[in-house]
Amino acid sequence: MNKKELEYKILELKDEYLQLQHNLEKLEFVKGNLNPLEKRLSEIEVELSSLNQLIRNIG
């Protein structure tokens, strides 16, 4: 992936993260099952960290 592709992927993940946070808040309100959303949020955090590291290495 080049830098532009990495940046686009990061934006997509940030958007997904925000949507999941919103859904998580709704589920908390109705006492829903939070585990799948929490797991995906953690996965996105790891992926974002990795992509940001790749961008730093590209320069």
- Give the global pTM: 0.88
Give the per-residue pLDDT at 29.
Answer: 86
Give the per-residue pLDDT at 35.
Answer: 94
pLDDT digits (tens, 9 = 90+) for 7-58: 999 999 999 999 999 999 999 889 889 999 999 999 999 999 999 999 999 8
E-only strand ranges, the chain: none
How many whole angstroms separate alpha carbon 29 and alpha carbon 7?
33
Give the per-residue pLDDT at 49.
Answer: 98
